[in-house]
A and B are shown apart, each in its own frame.
Chain A
Amino acid sequence: MTAVAVVLVFRNTRTINVAQGDFAMIGAFIGMVLIKRYHFDYLAALAVAGACCVLIAVLVERLIMRPLEKADWLTLMTATLGVFYICHGVAGWVWGRDTKAFPATFNPTPVHVLGTVISQGHLINMSWAVGIAFALYLFFKHTKQGIAMRAMTDDPETARLMGIPVRGFVTLTWGMAGLLAAFAGILSAPILYLSPQMMDEVLIKGYVAAVFGGLYSIPGAIIGALMIGVAENLAGGYLGADYKTATAFAMIVVLLAIRPQGLFGIQNRRMV
């Protein structure tokens, strides 16, 4: 889930990608098929599914986002909404709309960490997420491409003038998003069980987390995700499980009311 949030931050390219969750879902399905039918090894399945998702993401970018480049962001977001619909439809059509279980991959014995009990699966997921996040962080800070991409989000025009291939990077961004989606999907599959709707709630929470962090900073998104997770479980403990989900959304409403740019968002110099 953290991974999803991280990816959403990618929407530095001005778009809100509603389909993000669905990329993940498709990735998960592909992974499942690969493992079940073709008996791939887990990691191999991950790789292949990842490649597929990247492909899909890039396809979306080329076919849909590119022509819409100049449109306002609402149009862009709605376009991804269209993709969202399509993904749901396709997934339902190809794989059926009921819920399925992901082939067991983790040892179900719980592990004791820092005083709480976590299943091994969760632990592995979290490690992946942290690892990926860290890798991304390094990427953006230290590699030439990473820095270039950051420049691009700040000021696309100037970036272009300086020879940065903005368009190519946009495609790259989407590709990365696709890859992360595949990870998110497959990692969450054992927990969430497969269905076209599996990522719907995750999608929302992912965005909530990203917004928490201000939609611009990756570490912010991670922190956001963590906070939401914690808050949810606390609320679950005190108020009863019924209120778990509600809390997350209440949080976001409250936060945005108080700090419209999220915790780490860039200050929009609002005058008076």
Chain B
Amino acid sequence: MSGHLRCQNVTVRFGGLIACNSVSLEVPRGKVIGLIGPNGAGKTTLFNVLSGFQSFDAGDIYYKDKSIGGLKPHHMAKLGIARTFQNINLFSDQTTLANILIGAHHRVPGALANMLRLPAASRFERSLVSQASAIADRLHLGGELDRPVRELPYGYRKRVEIARALAAEPEIILLDEPVAGCNDEETAELRELIRSINRDLGVTFLLVEHDMSMVMTLCDYIYVMNVGSNLAEGTPEGVRRNPDVISAYLGEDSD
């Protein structure tokens, strides 16, 4: 089956250490796919590979069946792949609106025209801004557009990250631990938001997460990694009962 985003036998080596060992996974269109595993399993490395931030030594990644391995990160957005960051890589001194707007950067037609405020470019700008407002509303950020994001509470900032990703009008969003550090309330809210985005806008999701409640309830399909390799995959039910998975997690501390 030709998936949306796919990686095949990807291996990443850091000197003598093998972070990813011939890992393969597939993200079909319109689904919410989870990537889990104990700490140090190589999930973040793989994530960085998929978003263009990490080079790899073997294997390849495909998007809509075209190889995208080796592409620089800034190409990814244009392809339709957006990502969020675990450690909140927002532009902390800038406003929420500004942060969201940058998400749409790759959609801006002509830099020069944009600067000179030529009519077509101006119209595009206005539509961008109203679209950003709409996105903010969807993510319950409506009143905070003019606030510098560093004044926002943690949960809000997580949402701004997602808002920014949405501004890119992506086909697939890679979520890097979207609820890390969130309390139950914030987690539930984010879970609902992701689900609604997936359902209403048809955006595909790949999420790396430690929070099992998120993963089990949200994902259509889950991949499990351990010490750099594929360990298991399956539906949430299947994975939850998989003995290998259980022992891998119990060997650490289970959620």
CB 8 Å contact bits of B29-66 with A (1 = contact, 0 = none): 00000000000000000001000111100000000000
CB 8 Å contact bits of A258-272 with B (1 = contact, 0 = none): 000000000000011
Specify which chain B residues have a CB less than 8 angstroms from the CB of A271 in the assembled complex.
Answer: 48, 53-55
Q: Is the interface of B mostly helix, strand, loop or mixed?
A: loop
At the interface, yes or no: B72 with Cβ under 8 Å from chain A?
A: yes
Specify which chain B residues have a CB less than 8 angstroms from the CB of A272 in the assembled complex.
Answer: 52-55, 70, 72-73
Interface residues of A in 74-115 (CB under 8 A from B): none
Q: How many residues of B contact A (CB 8 A)?
A: 8
Q: How many residues of A contact B (CB 8 A)?
A: 2
Specify which chain A residues have a CB less than 8 angstroms from the CB of B48 in the assembled complex.
Answer: 271
A271 to B70: give the CA distance in the assembly, Å.
11
Chain A: CB-nearest residue to B45: A271
A272 to B57: give the CA distance in the assembly, Å.
11
A271 to B48: give the CA distance in the assembly, Å.
9
A180 to B172: give the CA distance in the assembly, Å.
58
A271 to B13: give the CA distance in the assembly, Å.
12
Specify which chain A residues have a CB less than 8 angstroms from the CB of B54 in the assembled complex.
Answer: 271-272
Specify which chain A residues have a CB less than 8 angstroms from the CB of B55 in the assembled complex.
Answer: 271-272
A272 to B54: give the CA distance in the assembly, Å.
5
Chain B: CB-nearest residue to A272: B55
A272 to B49: give the CA distance in the assembly, Å.
9
A271 to B72: give the CA distance in the assembly, Å.
10
- Distance in Å from the Cβ of B83 to the closest Cβ of chain A? 14
A272 to B55: give the CA distance in the assembly, Å.
5
- Distance in Å from the Cβ of A75 to the closest Cβ of chain B? 15
Interface residues of A in 219-272 (CB under 8 A from B): 271-272
What is B's interface to A at a CB cutoff of 8 Å?
48, 52-55, 70, 72-73
List 9 interface pairs A-B (beta carbons < 8 Å), by A numbering: A271-B48, A271-B53, A271-B54, A271-B55, A272-B52, A272-B53, A272-B54, A272-B70, A272-B73
Extra pairs beyond A271-B48, A271-B53, A271-B55 (8, CB < 8 Å):
A271-B54, A272-B52, A272-B53, A272-B54, A272-B55, A272-B70, A272-B72, A272-B73
Return the 5 tightest CB-CB contacts between A and B, nearest first: A271-B54, A272-B55, A271-B53, A272-B53, A272-B54
